[in-house]
């Protein structure tokens, strides 16, 4: 597959990185007995090579989800710890290089150096040990994020003010979940608990804004019964995310297997009772008054696919006083909606996950993902148009969350 060269290159980099870290540790603990060093070397390299082998198996073999999750946990924790060490090791090597150059250029020591060899420059134990301590920080925080953060569902309540909202809709509630990524789950009880939290809020209608799976539709088979329980009096409306098309498994080119995978995805939404909107719209009616629910296929800036066709989604909606858009990728809002579709009152997205790492309080939020996405979590407004970005129900890659917890959003629609 096309990703094989990238994976091989990543493995080569990881092995080189391992050699660098290993030499640093051995140099600091040079007083270890030969048997201790031998045991450490065997354990260190056995773990590293086994981890790389496990990653290949997780990608190319149909392993149990739990086993695949364990491999991913170990991989991310290991890489994070070594990356935390890296700045200290580089700083120490630069220090040693500077001292070596300084000694060579110090003319006053030339004669001394000729008669008496200079002492070899050993690694700074302080810096390397400081690096080991620094490595414990991500180990602790990321481990806690797996233990407590992955399924720590948070209900966020938002008043959504829509100036043209019909009176019949004033006070109606709407739920949103996004980015389920069922292929990453390993705890059905916890996932079920999150769905029960959503149902306990008794929303009048619900949006699911894409990424039901990681790569293949069959990943949802063990969780389909749980998400089928998501019901609401006015319906559950859904759209597809970039992971739902099979692009990351089959590639971007069409094939019979990829076409079938997408058909299966559409069928799953139907079986679960979700009204999947693929460049189309619905009229939501309450007491004789209507608003529009529009949904498009994935449309993202940069490397993400642009399957969505807004020109189709907005057809026959000119008479509707309020139009709510489901679009998985928040970059669509600034990339197309604000520029070409001023009739969209509010758009609902996911996709960013808040990078599953950061801080999020009522007045302050920060995540590294904000340097990639201008709109990445919460409610945004530009003139009369609004965007809400849900940071996701599930997780991808790192099987946990630190600071940016899984989200269930409950909106109360209000007139101006």
What proportion of the chain, given as a percentage, has pLDDT over 70?
84
- Measured at the alpha carbon of residue 221, what is the angle toward residues 220 and 223, in degrees to the nearest 5? 65
Token representation of residue 256:
């019979």
The CA distance from 385 to 164, in Å, is 12
Residue 66: band (very low, low, confident or very high) from pLDDT cuts 50, 70, 90 = low
Q: How confident is the model at residue 121 (pLDDT cuts 50, 70, 90)?
A: very low
Phi, psi of 204, rounded to the nearest 5 degrees: -75, -30
Interatomic CA distance for residues 383 and 136, integer angstroms: 46
**How far does the chain reach from its first CA to its final CA, in angstroms?**
53
Q: Please, is 314 exposed, middle or buried when counting C-beta atoms within 10 Å of its C-beta (0-12, 13-18, 19+)?
A: buried
Distance from C-alpha of 80 to C-alpha of 68, rounded to nearest angstrom = 18
List, for residues 377-398, the tens digit of each pLDDT value. Answer: 999 999 999 999 999 999 987 7
- Residue 365 has a pLDDT of 92
| Mean pLDDT across the chain | 86
The overall longest dimension of the chain from CA atoms, in Å, is 101
Q: Comparing 352 with 56, which gets the higher pLDDT?
A: 352
The predicted pLDDT at position 87 comes to: 80
Between CA 410 and CA 206 the distance in angstroms is 9
Cβ-based neighbour number of residue 97 at 10 Å: 11
Residues 258, 309, 353: CA angle, nearest 5 degrees: 70
Token duo for residue 231: 């019901």
Beta pairing class for 385-389 and 205-208: unpaired
């Amino acid at each position: 597959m096309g990703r094989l060269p990238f994976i091989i290159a990543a493995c080569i980099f990881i092995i080189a990185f391992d050699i660098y870290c290993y030499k640093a540790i051995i140099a600091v603990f040079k007083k270890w007995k030969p048997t201790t060093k031998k045991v450490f070397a065997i354990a260190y390299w056995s773990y590293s090579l086994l981890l790389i082998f496990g990653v290949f198996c997780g990608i190319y073999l149909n392993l149990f989800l739990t086993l695949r999750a364990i491999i991913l946990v170990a991989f991310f924790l290991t890489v994070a710890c070594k990356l935390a060490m890296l700045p200290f090791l580089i700083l120490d090597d630069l220090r040693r290089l500077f001292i070596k150059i300084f000694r060579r250029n110090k003319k006053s020591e030339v004669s001394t150096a000729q008669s008496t060899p200079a002492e070899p420059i050993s690694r700074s134990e302080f810096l390397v040990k400081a690096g080991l301590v620094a490595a414990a920080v991500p180990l602790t925080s990321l481990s806690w994020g797996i233990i407590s953060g992955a399924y720590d569902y948070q209900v966020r309540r938002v008043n959504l003010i829509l100036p043209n909202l019909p009176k019949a809709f004033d006070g109606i509630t709407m739920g949103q979940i996004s980015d389920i990524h069922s292929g990453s789950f390993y705890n059905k009880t916890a996932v079920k608990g999150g769905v029960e939290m959503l149902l306990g809020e008794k929303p009048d209608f619900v949006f699911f804004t894409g990424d039901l799976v990681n790569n293949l539709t069959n990943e949802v088979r063990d969780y389909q019964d749980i998400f089928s329980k998501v019901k609401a009096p006015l319906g559950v409306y859904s759209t597809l995310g970039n992971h739902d098309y099979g692009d990351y498994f089959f590639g971007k080119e069409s094939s019979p297997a990829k076409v079938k995978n997408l058909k299966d995805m559409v069928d799953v939404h139907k079986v679960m009772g979700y009204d999947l909107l693929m460049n189309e719209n619905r009229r939501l009616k309450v007491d004789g008054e209507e608003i529009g629910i529009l949904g498009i296929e994935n449309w993202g800036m940069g490397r993400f696919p642009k399957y969505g066709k807004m020109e189709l989604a907005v057809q026959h909606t000119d008479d509707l006083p309020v139009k709510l858009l489901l679009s998985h990728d928040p970059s669509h809002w600034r990339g197309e909606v604000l520029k070409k579709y001023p009739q969209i009152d509010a758009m609902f997205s996911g996709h960013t996950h808040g990078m599953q790492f950061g801080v999020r309080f009522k007045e302050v939020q920060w995540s590294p993902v904000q340097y990639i996405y201008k709109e990445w979590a919460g409610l945004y407004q530009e003139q009369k148009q609004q965007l809400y970005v849900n940071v996701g129900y599930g997780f991808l890659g790192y099987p946990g969350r630190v600071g940016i917890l899984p989200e269930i959003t409950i909106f109360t629609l209000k007139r101006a």
